[in-house]
Structure 1
């Protein structure tokens, strides 16, 4: 259950197999505007960190450690259920299931969620700190994955491996 006056923030970090203009990731890059646009129209969507605003770039311009192949997705949702619905019951799921075609397998946790006061827009630095906290300490009220949330059910139904689900 969403705590009163709070929204759910999430950060997902990936590292592309190739630079953003490489044909190996062209299909993913071409779908960014469509998938992100759908997310923004979903019930329960609150906010998304934007890149340059150029078509087909998504958040690919937010570099981590200066590496242009790291891409991030930082969003805020009204509830666990609304985020889950977008992730698992829309075209997003098809791209998630094909992630190995475009992204490296990261050897550590790359997804984190946490509660933010309604109206708060987290920064990438804030989100990366939450991810580091989760990597160092595991699930807690400060930073958590899907398994920490009792109301999260859809990710279990889709048989996510632990490394992919969190």
Structure 2
């Protein structure tokens, strides 16, 4: 059975290493959010660096591949200057991902996103289906997010509001997306 891949990307207002209060609050909330999401029904796995201290760009991400970012990211790439938050994860289905993202600690964090992230004209997440056993790579996520930005949604790059089932048929969650 196919799994749902999710790539998220946001540009932070200041580098992750910035000691300012808002950046600390963002960093401190992350572990608890990830723990809660990891216990959510439908969650399968997420990309985790073998050594977080090396920074996102220099870390070993194993089967998830070399860390990559969209072309529009123009901030730093060192431990001291990186100003981004990105995730790559696998889910059983769209409903589980939606429930996890829009409830609990992640919902609380979403309510604060403009305290931490820059507002951009770029999408901040993208979904696509992968075959059972496949591990998406960071580059897969970047390619699909850039496609979503440049060309709009399609079966290989979509959002909650414009989603597709594994066969490529448009679908929607109850109460989300265009009426059909």
Q: Give TM class, smaller chain.
A: 0.7 to 0.9
1:52 deviates by: 4.4
- Mapped contact 1:63–1:71 kept (Cα < 8 A): no
Q: Which has the higher helix share?
A: 1
* Structure 1 match to 2:172: 151
TM superposition shift of 1:89: 1.9
For 1:53 and 1:152, how far apart are their aligned partners in 2? 37
TM-score by length of 2: 0.75
- TM-score normalised by length of structure 1: 0.80
- In structure 2, runs of 5+ residues without a counterpart are 60-66, 164-170
Note if contact 1:59-1:71 (Cα within 8 Å) is conserved in structure 2.
Answer: no
- State how many pairs are aligned: 151
Q: State the partner residue of 1:82.
A: 96
- For residue 15 of structure 1, the aligned residue among 6, 11, 17 is 11
Among 5, 28, 31, the alignment partner of 1:30 is: 28
1:130 correspondence with 2:151: no
| Superposition pairs of residues 58-69 of structure 1, within 5 angstroms | 62=67, 64=69, 67=77, 68-69=82-83
Q: Residues of 1 paired with 2:83 and 2:107: CA distance? A: 22
Distance 1:58 1:35 in 2: 20
Q: Deviations over 1:113-154 (max 9, x none)?
A: 111112211110111011111112111111111111333246
Structure whose CA Rg is larger: 2
* Contact preservation (8 Å) 1:13, 1:72: yes
SS in 1 for 2:139: helix
Q: CA-atom RMSD, angstroms?
A: 2.4
With over 3 angstroms needed to count, the CA separation of the structure-2 counterparts of 1:13 and 1:120, relative to structure 1, is same
Q: Secondary structure at the match of 2:102?
A: helix
Deviation at 1:41, TM superposition (A): 1.3
- Once residues 151 and 106 of structure 1 are traced to their aligned partners in structure 2, the CA distance between those partners, rounded to angstroms, is 25
